[in-house]
C-alpha cells in the first residue's frame, strides 16, 4: 500500500516510470476482471488501456479516496457497464430498424417516442443501486442466468433474485409514466 502511495505521488508529478510500473502491476488483473463482465478480451484490453490513458491525462487533478487498485477496478467495472449499455442500445436500434425499415420510412413520432423511452430507461437504470443495476444488466441485457451471475459475483442465487426483483420494482416506479407507451408499442 505504501509503495502504491509513492508510485501515485510520483505519477502526479509526471513520472513516466511510475506510470509504467503501475501499468505493469495492474494491467493483467484489470483485463481479467473486465473479462468477467464482457466476453471480448480485446475489448477489455481496450477499456483498460483507455483507463490508463485517462489516468495519465488526469494525473495532475487525480484525487483517489480509496486504494488505486479499487479505483481502477471501479473504473473498469463502470466502463464495462457503459459498453454493455451501448451494445444493448445498438442491438435495440438494429432490431428496430430491421422491424420498421430505414430512416426514410421511419415515422418521426415513433422515433421521438422510442428515443425518449430509451433515454428514460437509461436514466432509470442509473438511479438503481449499483448492486441491483449490475445484476439487472447482467441478467436482462447480457442474458446471463442467475446461477452464472451468482458465481461471477460470488453471491447466492437468492441474492441475485432479490436484487433483480428490487431493480424491476424500482424500474416500474421510475418508468410508471411510460407504461401506457410501452404497452402500446408491444401491442401495435
pLDDT band with cut points at 50, 70 and 90 for residue 188: very low
State the Cα–Cα distance between residues 16 and 12, nearest whole angstrom: 10
CB 34 within 8 A of CB 47: yes
pTM (2 d.p.): 0.51
- pLDDT on residue 48: 94
pLDDT at 93 over 80: no
State the Cα–Cα distance between residues 2 and 139, nearest whole angstrom: 39
C-alpha cell at 18: 511510475
CB 84 within 8 A of CB 139: no
At 112-168, the pLDDT tens digits run 666 677 777 788 888 889 998 899 888 887 888 989 999 989 999 899 999 988 988
State the Cα–Cα distance between residues 61 and 96, nearest whole angstrom: 42
Please give the average per-residue pLDDT across 35-48, as a whole number.
91
Closest CA to 152 of 41, 51, 77, 46: 77
State the Cα–Cα distance between residues 62 and 56, nearest whole angstrom: 9
Please give the average per-residue pLDDT across 5-21, as a whole number.
88
Residue ranges, CATH 1.10.1740.10, the chain: 1-81
Residue ranges, CATH 1.10.10.10, the chain: 107-188
Percent of the chain's residues with pLDDT above 90 = 27
Please give the average per-residue pLDDT across 166-172, as a whole number.
85
State the Cα–Cα distance between residues 34 and 79, nearest whole angstrom: 9
CB 40 within 8 A of CB 32: no
Q: Domain 107-188, what fold?
A: Arc Repressor Mutant, subunit A (1.10.10)
Domain 1-81 has CATH 1.10.1740.10: yes
pLDDT band with cut points at 50, 70 and 90 for residue 46: very high
pLDDT at 52 over 90: yes
Amino acid at each position: 500500500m505504501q509503495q502504491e502511495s509513492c508510485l501515485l505521488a510520483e505519477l502526479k508529478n509526471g513520472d513516466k516510470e511510475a506510470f509504467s510500473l503501475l501499468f505493469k502491476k495492474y494491467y493483467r488483473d484489470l483485463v481479467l476482471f473486465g473479462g468477467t463482465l464482457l466476453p471480448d478480451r480485446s475489448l477489455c484490453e481496450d477499456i483498460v488501456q483507455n483507463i490508463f490513458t485517462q489516468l495519465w491525462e488526469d494525473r495532475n487533478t487525480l484525487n483517489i479516496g480509496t486504494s488505486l487498485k479499487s479505483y481502477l477496478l471501479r473504473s473498469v467495472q463502470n466502463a464495462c457497464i457503459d459498453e454493455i449499455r451501448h451494445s444493448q442500445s445498438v442491438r435495440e436500434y438494429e432490431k428496430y430498424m430491421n422491424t420498421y425499415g430505414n430512416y426514410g420510412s421511419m415515422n418521426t413520432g415513433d422515433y421521438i417516442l422510442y428515443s425518449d423511452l430509451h433515454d428514460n430507461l437509461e436514466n432509470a437504470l442509473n438511479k438503481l443501486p449499483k448492486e441491483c443495476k449490475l445484476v439487472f444488466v447482467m441478467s436482462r441485457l447480457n442474458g446471463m442466468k442467475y446461477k452464472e451471475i451468482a458465481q461471477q459475483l460470488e453471491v447466492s442465487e437468492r441474492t441475485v433474485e432479490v436484487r433483480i426483483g428490487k431493480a424491476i420494482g424500482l424500474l416500474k416506479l421510475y418508468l410508471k409514466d411510460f407504461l401506457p407507451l410501452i404497452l402500446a408499442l408491444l401491442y401495435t
